[in-house]
Amino acid sequence: MKFIESIRIAMRALAANKLRSVLTMLGIIIGVGAVIALMSIGRGVEKFVTDRFTSLGSNLLFVVPGQLEAGHPGTGGRINPLTLEDMEVLGDRSQNPDVRAVSAEFFTDATISREGKDMQATVSAVTPSFSNVRNWPTVIGDFFTQEDFDERARVVTLGQDVYTELFEPDEHPVGQTVRINNMAFQVIGVMEERGGGPGGNEDASVFIPLTTAQDRLFKRKTVSGGYQVSVIYVSVMDSDRIQETQDEIAATLRARRGISYLDDDDFSIISQNDIISVFGEILGALTLFLGAIAGISLLVGGIGIMNIMLVSVTERTREIGLRKAVGAKRRDVLLQFLIEAVTLAVFGGIIGIILGIIGAKAVSNISDSFSAVVGVDAVLISLFFSMAVGLFFGIYPAVRASRLNPIDALRYE
C-alpha cells in the first residue's frame, strides 16, 4: 500500500520536471534503443540467412576444391579442381551408401542477349539432377534431362531475374531463343524465385548442361579431359547421419584423388550446419559488441540518473525535512527516491524499446529481403537491465536523502 503510494509520489515528482526527466532518460533511451534496433535487425538477418540455407534443400553437403579452413599452408595457388568423375564416384551408392543423390555446378559469367536486350549473368553449368538435389523447381516449363545432357543440347532454363529482364511480363518464354555469348540456346523453362544464396543472387543465373558448356561454349576442361566443376552437391539420405556421410565421401574422394594418408584433403566438405554455425559465430561476435555498447550507454545513462537524483535530493532538502517532520521514516524517504530513479530508468528503457522497434522496422522496410524480428527476450532483458541500472545508481542518492536530519533539512535554504 505504501509502495503504491511511493510510486505515485515519484511519478508526480518526475512529471513536475518533464524536460529534465526526459533529458536524464536520454542515455538509457539511446542505449536501449540502439540495442533493440540492432538486435532485431540481427535476428532478422539471421532468420533470413537460415531460411535461405534451409531452402537450398535439406541435408545438403557442399564439396569444393582446395582447403578452406585457415592454418593449412601449401594448398594456396595449386588447387586441384574437382571433376564430373569425382561427382559420379560420390554418387555411387555401393561406395557411399548414405548418399541419396549428387549434382555438380560450374560457374562462369557471360552475356545473355535476346532481341536487342542483353545483360550480364552467371552461367551455371550443371547436371540434370541439379533441380532435384538443390530442391529448386521450375515455375514454367522444365529443367533439362539426362538426354539433353548426353547430347550436349543447347537448352537453357532461366533464373527469375534473367527472365524478367529479357521477357515482357505476358510473354511465354518456352521455345524462344536466347543467346549466351552469341550462341543460340532454346529456352525450356524458368526457375522459381530464390533470392540470395550462398554464391550471391542465384536468380540472375541461367542453367545449361555442363557438357554443353564445356564442350561447346567455354573450353574449360581439365588437362586430362574431364569436366571441371566448381562445387559438388551431395544430398544425404538421413539427416542424423550427416557426419558419417561427410566422413564417407571424404574417404572416397581421398582414395580417388590418391591422397597419401600423411597429406591433408585437397578439397573441403561443408554442411549447411557449418555455414549456419559460422554465421552464428559472426552474429555472436556482433551480439557481444552490441552488448558492450549497451553496457557503456547504460553506464553513462546510470551516471546521468545518479547525478540528477543527487541534484534533486539537494533541491528538495526542505521537502525531505518536512516529510520527516510529519512522520516519514527513513525507509519511506529511501523508497521514494529509489522509485524515482528506477522509474526514470525504466521509462527510459520503455521509450528506448519503442524507438528501437520503430527503427528496426524502418530499416527492414527499406530492405525488402529481410524483416526485423523483435525478440521478447531482448525486450525483457532490456527492461531488466534498465531497472537494475536505476536501482544501482539510485541507491546512493536515496540513502543520502533518507539520512538527512529533519532539523537541518527544514532550515535548509
Partner 1 sequence: MSASSTPVLAAPNSTTEAERSQPVIAVRDVFKIYQMGTMEVRALRGVDLDVWPSEMLAIMGPSGSGKSTLMNIIGCLDVPTSGFYALDGVDVGGLNDDQLAEIRCHKLGFVFQNFNLLPRTSALANVELPLIYAGTSGRKRHDRAAEVLDLVGLGDRLDHKPNELSGGQQQRVAIARALVNRPALILADEPTGNLDTQTGIEIMELFQRLNQEQGIIIIFVTHDPETAEYCNRIVHIRDGLIEADVATN
* Nearest distance from C-beta of residue 400 to partner 1, angstroms: 15
Interface contacts to partner 1, rule CB under 8 A:
1-2, 5, 12, 16, 318-319, 321-332, 406-407, 410
CB of 370 to partner 1, least distance (A): 49
Residue nearer to partner 1 on the CB measure, 142 or 332: 332
Q: How far is the CB of 394 from partner 1 (least distance, A)?
A: 21
Nearer to partner 1, 123 or 338 (CB): 338
* Of 117 and 329, CB closest to partner 1: 329
- Cβ of residue 314: shortest distance to partner 1, in angstroms? 16
Q: How far is the CB of 320 from partner 1 (least distance, A)?
A: 11
Q: Nearest distance from residue 350's CB to partner 1, in Å?
A: 25
Q: Which is nearer to partner 1, 223 or 326 (CB)?
A: 326
Cα 197 to chain center, whole Å? Answer: 12
* Complex with partner 1: residue 354 or 410, whichever CB lies closer: 410
CB of 330 to partner 1, least distance (A): 6
Comparing CB distances to partner 1, the nearer of 5 and 193 is: 5
Closest to partner 1 by CB, 328 vs 360, is 328
